[in-house]
Homo-oligomer: A and B are copies of this chain.
Amino acid sequence: MNKKESKVAVVGAGVIGCSWAAYYAVHGLQVNVCDIQEGYQEHARERISVLAAEIPNADVKMAVKQLSFFTSVEEAVAGVDLIQENGPERKAIKQQMFADFERYAPEDALLVSSSSGIVPEDLSVRMKTPERALIGHPVNPAHLLPVVEICGGKDSPKALVEQLENFYRDCGRVTATLNKPIEGFVTNRLQTALVREAIHLVGKGVVNVHDLDQLFMASLGVRWASIGPFLTGQLGGGTGGFRGIAEKILTPLFTSMGYEPVSGETLDMLEQQTTEYYPMDKMKEFAKVRDERQKAVLDIQKNHPLPNKT
């Protein structure tokens, strides 16, 4: 596939839809924007231009010329290579949309939802070929963050998922594909787990919303822009690695936070994987990059201060 000749339909022109439209248009794809809202076009065109201008090195004039606007899904999806669906996060609405996509889009078009949590099986119940429903979940702001979380349904052919990976990579995206569908996928489940505890701490009066955000950015925010949670454990556990920190630090905290303990079998699996991907004899190299990244992130936070509330 040559991305310069590709045509996509962006269905649903809200925050995420406009971000996708801006991204695709800046990257040279023809973009059919579609929304059922009467008279949405003017506002969407304006918004997409603004977002396009935020993308580094964008040719906004060229990008805007790539856009066409539709209010009919049938017309918008005719002849496209990929549909990126950004409707409301409600199953019934998306189910109708995917049935329409299957009916009106080319047989070989990729049918993709931006949903942050609904699994393909729940999108495809009204389709004759439910295995065609795929997830391509971007991270807000979707025109700036390159990563896309990809997830096929249980019966989606591997080749179809690979085709989607290639499509995204061809237009500059970084892809991460899940082995199996799960509600909330990886990103939103991880975020929700943390937000739940954040809400708990504010609800208990341990800290307020503002102080939690500040402490969080200065600690875990800096850390996690540099290394993920498993490498954090592997590096933090000394000679014991991830398993050591799991046993010494996580286990008592799991207990005091009321979580079920991690099974020995899962710990074995985690030890095997952390040791495979983050070998102990490379820990100094990993730590060096972690520290370089962390110093640079601290500088960014300092050089781009958040506004005060007043």
- Asked if A198 contacts B206 (CB within 8 A), the reply is no
- Asked if A282 contacts B301 (CB within 8 A), the reply is no
Interface size class of A (residues with CB under 8 A): 35 or more
**Interface of chain A, main secondary structure:** helix
Q: Does A202 contact B (CB under 8 A)?
A: yes
- Asked if B295 contacts A192 (CB within 8 A), the reply is no
Q: Does A191 contact B (CB under 8 A)?
A: yes
A76 CB to nearest B CB, Å: 23
Interface string of A288-302 (1 = CB under 8 A from B): 011111111110110
Closest to A306 in B: B289
Which one of A188, A197, A279 has the highest number of Cβ atoms from chain B below 10 Å of its Cβ? A197
A26 CB to nearest B CB, Å: 14
- Set B177, B186, B220, B291: member contacting A187, Cβ < 8 A: B220
Q: Does A28 contact B (CB under 8 A)?
A: no
- Asked if A306 contacts B205 (CB within 8 A), the reply is no
**Given contacts A139-B219, A309-B279, are A294 and B196 in contact (CB under 8 A)?**
no
Give the docked Cα–Cα distance between A144 and B144 (Å): 29
Chain B residues in 8 Å Cβ range of A182: 201, 204, 206
